[in-house]
């Protein structure tokens, strides 16, 4: 059975391809006195191809992360709905600040695409809205 690539694995692959590209660039630079113009160009093109591959792997990692997060979207929607409702019925500014801070934290967690941070931020958002 074929194994499915995770976002973390795709990200790691992207890092490895970036490292390979940088190693080729360094090799090219270190040996520029002994390489022909054609060899220099071939190494430059290969490094560019590796960098392009790394970029595509990063895009794949992001797409996989978003797919993995789709199950979490229901919880995020519930948390933001709860914060919106709480804001409409606020009695003091301290709670407004707590909700705003929790909303910013949740947004930053979503952008980070870290499932653990997202889960923690959802809990914080719900807590801020219900306290």
Q: How confident is the model at residue 1 (pLDDT cuts 50, 70, 90)?
A: low
- Per-residue pLDDT reduced to its tens digit, 85-118: 888 887 778 888 888 998 998 888 887 777 778 8
Mean pLDDT of the 66-78 span:
77
For residues 73-96, one letter each, b for 16 or more C-beta atoms within 10 angstroms of the residue's C-beta and e for the rest, the string is eeebeebbebbeebeeeeeeeebe
Which of 59, 53, 47, 42 has its CA nearest to residue 22?
A: 47
Q: When comparing pLDDT for 77 and 42, which is higher?
A: 42
103 burial type by CB count under 10 A (0-12 exposed, 13-18 middle, 19+ buried): buried
Instruction: Give me the pLDDT at residue 73, please.
Output: 81
Whole-angstrom distance between the N-terminal and C-terminal Cα of the chain? 48
């Amino acid at each position: 059975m074929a194994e499915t690539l995770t976002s973390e694995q795709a990200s790691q692959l992207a890092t490895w391809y970036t490292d390979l590209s940088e190693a080729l660039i360094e090799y090219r630079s270190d040996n520029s006195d002994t390489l022909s113009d054609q060899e220099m160009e071939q190494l430059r093109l290969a490094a560019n191809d590796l960098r392009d591959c790394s970029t595509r792997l990063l895009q794949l990692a992001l797409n996989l992360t978003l797919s993995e997060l789709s199950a979490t979207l229901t919880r995020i929607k519930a948390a933001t709905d709860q914060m919106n409702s709480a804001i409409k019925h606020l009695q003091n500014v301290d709670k407004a600040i707590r909700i705003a801070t929790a909303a910013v934290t949740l947004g930053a967690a979503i952008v980070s695409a870290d499932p653990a941070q997202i889960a923690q931020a959802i809990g914080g958002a719900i807590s801020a809205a219900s306290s």
